[in-house]
Amino acid sequence: MPKATILGCRIHRVTMAEALEAARGFLRDGRPHQIVTSDASMLAMATEDADLRSLINAADLVVPDSTGVVWAARRVGEPVPERVPGVDLMERLCELGGRLSLTAYFLGAAPGVAEDAARKLEAKYPGFRVTGTHHGFLKPGDDARIEAEIRDLKPDLLFVAMGIPKQEKWVRERMASLGVPISMGVGGSFDCHSGRVRRAPLIFQRLNIEWLYRLATNPSKYKKVALLPHFAWLVLRRGRSAA
């Protein structure tokens, strides 16, 4: 797959359809693969977190998950064809799960959220089954128990909602031992799919200001949004050398 490099991080220049085709390949292969949904805040964090930067560059698929990443790729002369939002990619994988009778494990978010998201997605995509869930408020000892449960259930898909970069690092550290064909950090996607959080109206999505709606409806997101101007400054300062 063709790639762009932004602030030292590799991004695959794929459409949603191409990302799904890559995922099909991961499922056929059967070995563990990590999908990273890279937004501007993640790339800004990676400039000061070498471990995160290494993780992104080693992932099997890194999709451009924000308007900022699409803009930055164009600025460095390696444009991506479109934005591939993580919340949509997760749903499309669940839709694929309905057609292929796949199973999944949902880990993360507040108590009850993963279960609600699982029920709604199972109802929407018959044939898709969520065989295990656990909230993200983990206590000492929970990790080992959850890992054992995932190994026992052998899901095809693992979605982890713990926030950037904790979810990506959780996956990377365990993917080899868990053996799940596709693992992906999904941020707030469980909240959206459960119905607890309303996604931005289409007009916000089409104008590429979904972040503004999220900030207005959830001011606690200000720390993540505050990284956006910093990201833009880094890209503009480095110019073509941002790669």
Tell me: pLDDT of 90 over 60. yes
| Average pLDDT score, the chain | 90
Task: Calculate mean pLDDT across residues 59-75.
Answer: 95
At 131, the amino acid letter reads T
Q: Considering the domain boundaries, does residue 179 fall inside one?
A: yes
Tell me: pLDDT of 224 over 90. no
Contact 93, 23 (CB under 8 A): yes
Tell me: pLDDT of 86 over 50. yes
Q: If pLDDT is split at 50, 70 and 90, which confidence band does 211 have?
A: low
- CA atoms of 238 and 243, how far apart (whole Å): 8
* Segment 168-207, tens digit of pLDDT: 999 999 999 999 999 999 999 999 999 887 665 666 556 5
Residue 217 belongs to domain spanning: 13-242
Q: Print burial letters for 161-191: b (CB count within 10 Å at least 16), e (below 16).
A: bbebbebbbbbbebbeebbbbbbbbbbbbbb
Domain count, the chain: 1
Q: Considering the domain boundaries, does residue 2 fall inside one?
A: no
Task: Calculate mean pLDDT across residues 4-12.
Answer: 97
Q: If pLDDT is split at 50, 70 and 90, which confidence band does 222 have?
A: very low
Q: Considering the domain boundaries, does residue 5 fall inside one?
A: no
Tell me: pLDDT of 137 over 70. yes
